[in-house]
Homo-oligomer: A and B are copies of this chain.
């Protein structure tokens, strides 16, 4: 019972990331223990060290997997609104919020200081989140092609919008959103998206004004 037979081998690295994500539905990242993950995977804690440098590294891998998942969902949404750029922007924002609501623990991990693990590589280029930002930037460029948000660098606007939506998600997950009464906590966050869309709509010089 030291080394497993070939037929009962487990793909430890993959399972570890999966199971950690699952655990994040229940507990916060800080509370997750390697023994827990190992138990869920079907091995002992030290076995994880063969595939991850340590707890931090495992969490970092989950962090990255989270961004890949988010990107997938956003791509799917974008595909459904390939034409209408404004709709794409709104639906993208709402999809983002949905993601945060459905995976609160994972979302928090994705936006916690990845600690230590970020020094080795480029600060932003290699980050898994960069893909999401790039995608948002394209959506904004499409809006600009229709006359919205004229004369501003798309990258800057992308950062503004991402900031707002991420900020909303983050505040909601901390219970810091004003909850109107009996409503879903995410309602306030959806309101942020609505406000932003309104701002964008008004940014077009000539038509579309009350």
Interface size class of A (residues with CB under 8 A): 35 or more
Q: Is the CB of A166 within 8 A of B171?
A: yes
Q: Is the CB of A159 within 8 A of B177?
A: yes
Which of B111, B129, B157, B192 sits near A170, CB closer than 8 Å?
A: B111
How many chain copies does the complex carry? 2
Q: Is the CB of A178 within 8 A of B124?
A: yes
Q: Does A164 contact B (CB under 8 A)?
A: yes
Q: A30, A175, A178 — which one has the most chain B CB atoms within 10 A of its CB?
A: A178
16 A-B contacts, Cβ less than 8 Å apart?
A: A30-B30, A111-B170, A111-B174, A112-B112, A113-B173, A113-B174, A124-B175, A160-B168, A160-B191, A160-B196, A164-B164, A165-B167, A166-B170, A167-B168, A199-B203, A205-B210
